[in-house]
Structure formats: C-alpha cells, structure tokens
Amino acid sequence: MPKIAIMGHGVVGSGTAEVFFKNKPGIEKRAGKSLDIKYILDVRDPSEFAGLPYGDRFVNDFDIILNDPEIAVAAELIGGIEPAFTFAEKLLTAGKSVVTSNKELVAKKGAYLLKLARDNNVNFFFEASVGGGIPIIRPLSLCFSAGRINEVAGILNGTTNFILTKMFRDGMEFADALKLAQDNGYAERDPSDDVGGADACRKICILASMAFGKQVDPDRVPFEGITGVTKADIDFCTARGGAVKLIGIARRNQSGGVDAEVCPAFVGGGSQLAGVDDVFNAILVRGEETGDVVFYGKGAGKYPTASAVISDILNALKTPDNPHALCWEESEGSDYGGLVSGFYARTANGAFITGEMTRAEFNAKYGGDGVITAMRVFDNL
C-alpha cells in the first residue's frame, strides 16, 4: 500500500488530513487501492496533537519521511522557499512524488522542480497553488494542448477580493475586512503578500509559465496591491457599471514575448470578472482556438485547497511510471512591463479615462499632473 506524508499542519495541512480521513473510503475507491497518511511533519511537539484521531502520525524529523521506502508521495504544505525547496528537491531526487500548495515555491523554482521530477520519473503537482479549489492547473496543461493560449487573466487572490467586496458592498473598514478574511483562513500568515499583490503575482506567473511554456519570473513582473484603492475610485467605477478588482494578467505581445502585471483595475460591467465577489476567484483563459474559457470557484480556504491537494495526491499515485507532462522551461529572463490598456486617473480636479498605452507612457504623459490614483482599465476581459 503506497503511503502518504503531509508536511506542515497549518490551515491547508490540517484541512488535508481532515478531508482525507473523513472521505477515506471514497478516496480509496477512486484510487483503486488502500491508502494511508503515514506521517504528518510539523515543527511543534507531537504531543500537542495527541488528541487528534490521527495524532500518532506526527513527526518532527523530515529524514524519517525521506528515508521511508513506503512513502510514495509527500504533500509540501509548509509554504515559503525554505525548507520547502530543499525538502521537495530531496524527495524528488529520492524518487518520491511531491504535491504542493506553495505558490512561491512553484513560481520561483517550478521549471527546476518539474525537470527534476521528470528526470526521476515521478510527479511534481501543484493544483492547489492557484485558485484554491478551482481546477485550473491540470485543465490548462491538458485541455488546451491542441492550440495556443494568448492571454490568461483573473482574480487570483481570495483575501483581497473578499476585502474589496466587504469594504465596498457592506461598508466595512479595511482592517475589519482583513481580520474577517484571516479568521476564515483565507489570508496568508503575513497578509502583506495578499494586500500588496505579491501572492497574486506568484499565481499569474505560474499560470503564465504553464500557458506560454517558459518560466515567468515573479521578481520581474510589476505588481501592486489594493491598499491605495479608495471609496472615490470605487464610486467612479461602479457609477459606470463596472467594478474595481485586483487583476493578474499575462498576455503574449507582438514581439513574441509576454507582458504581465498585477494591479487594481477597473473592469467594465460586461466583463465576466466584474461580478466575481467575496473569496471567489475567476480565471479567464483566452485561447486562439477555444476563445474565452472561464474557471470560477472558491480561490482560498482550508477545505477547497485541501480538496485540490488530495486530488493531486491521487493523480500522483495513479501515474507513478508515466509522469504527467506538466512542464515549462527555464527562461533567461525578460521584461514583462509592456502591457497596454486604458487608464483611470483621479486628480484633485476629477477623474478621467485615457486611451490605450503602456504604464511607462501613462507615467510620462500624466505623471506630473497631480494624479492621486491611477488604475488600469480592462474593458475586454
């Protein structure tokens, strides 16, 4: 019987263990074999978990997992780059599949870990890293393989979408809405990555890397969060039938490269993204052959994310000798800053919307004009 290890017993790790043991008979039926979680790795003293029905599985020492030949797959649910990267690297090298919800790890080290998995004939899966419970990674990899994807865009952070919705639909203060998001398990431990846009940036980089086949480096993609968005901006946009959303976008450009950005944006009322509220995420994939395809669902939270982790575990166990071809290549690095759109700008004298231009062109033309808020305008998403 192949055995599973869970690494990290935080929000997602504890959800994964809970859902696994609650739904074990159905999960085993789908896997076609008996399964068990043999170890749960956590830095805390194992005695702290003695009251849990699976409290006897807790260990502190990663090497127990690495050196146990029964472990076929490990779920890395620790977050951050280290020790997650070293653990993943050692496990893949040892011939064990790894699944992860860790966006930072996948966005920064994805090309390397995917190659390592291929070289060792195992899997590296990360469905839970983008969109929580929304199936997007596997569909993007498998279901668009006939053609060419030109653009991926979406609402990729549940916390900020929840906060924007609570602030501007229910009149909540930013801090109260953030606290509510944290209480619901949506926000990262350090919420500055959510509200500052870094979390959404990692996710659009993963989607862009998948869609375009080359690593899109999150350190090179411009990003901005929602802390500068004011009620005046929202009122302007809603009066015009649209909404303010934190948008991650990556688009092929005419020189064969990719433009990408994360920014608060005015999306028109006709957009499929304008009505996506609360913790929901939506991802628009614009394919040459398919036209627009939209994926929608809960983008954060303990159980939606745990569901994606467990489905990856099952897929990793089903394909041990024939790794599924999720892949993208390393990239030399590129400048992703050429995205063209209209801009909304607010000054002390009122607000206006510009024609299509890059951010550099906007700054050159209007930067000295007392602009208080500037946001992109997307009227074709």
Question: What residues line the site for ligand HSE (CB under 6 A)?
Answer: 132, 157-159, 186-188, 194, 199, 299-300
Unique residue bearing structure tokens 């009066």 = 239
Which amino acid type is present at position 125? Answer: F
Residue 203 is a catalytic residue: yes
Pick the catalytic residue from 96, 103, 109, 203.
203
Q: Least Å distance between CB 295 and ligand HSE?
A: 14
- DSSP string of 292-331, one letter each residue: EEEEEEE-SSHHHHHHHHHHHHHHHHH-TTS------B--
- DSSP string of 269-300, one letter each residue: TTSTTTT--TTEEEEEEEETTTEEEEEEEE-S
Which amino acid type is present at position 86? Answer: T
Considering beta carbons, is residue 242 or 304 the nearer one to ligand HSE?
Answer: 304
Considering beta carbons, is residue 131 or 338 the nearer one to ligand HSE?
Answer: 131
How far apart are the two ends of the chain, measured CA to CA in Å?
A: 47
Q: Least Å distance between CB 92 and ligand HSE?
A: 23
What are phi and psi for residue 45, nearest 5 degrees?
-65, 130
Rounded to whole angstroms, how far apart are CA atoms 79 and 61? Answer: 17
Considering beta carbons, is residue 159 or 271 the nearer one to ligand HSE?
Answer: 159
Q: Least Å distance between CB 24 and ligand HSE?
A: 25
Pairing of strands 243-252, 258-267: antiparallel
Q: Least Å distance between CB 199 and ligand HSE?
A: 5
CA–chain centroid gap for 69, Å, is 31
What is the number of other CB atoms lying within 10 angstroms of the CB of residue 60?
A: 11
Check whether the bond before 264 is cis (ω within 30° of 0).
Answer: no
Output the six-digit token pair for 144: 């668009």
Rounded to whole angstroms, how far apart are CA atoms 59 and 199? Answer: 29
Q: Least Å distance between CB 159 and ligand HSE?
A: 3
Considering beta carbons, is residue 188 or 233 the nearer one to ligand HSE?
Answer: 188
Q: Least Å distance between CB 354 and ligand HSE?
A: 30
Considering beta carbons, is residue 74 or 187 the nearer one to ligand HSE?
Answer: 187
Considering beta carbons, is residue 72 or 107 the nearer one to ligand HSE?
Answer: 107
Active site amino acids: 203
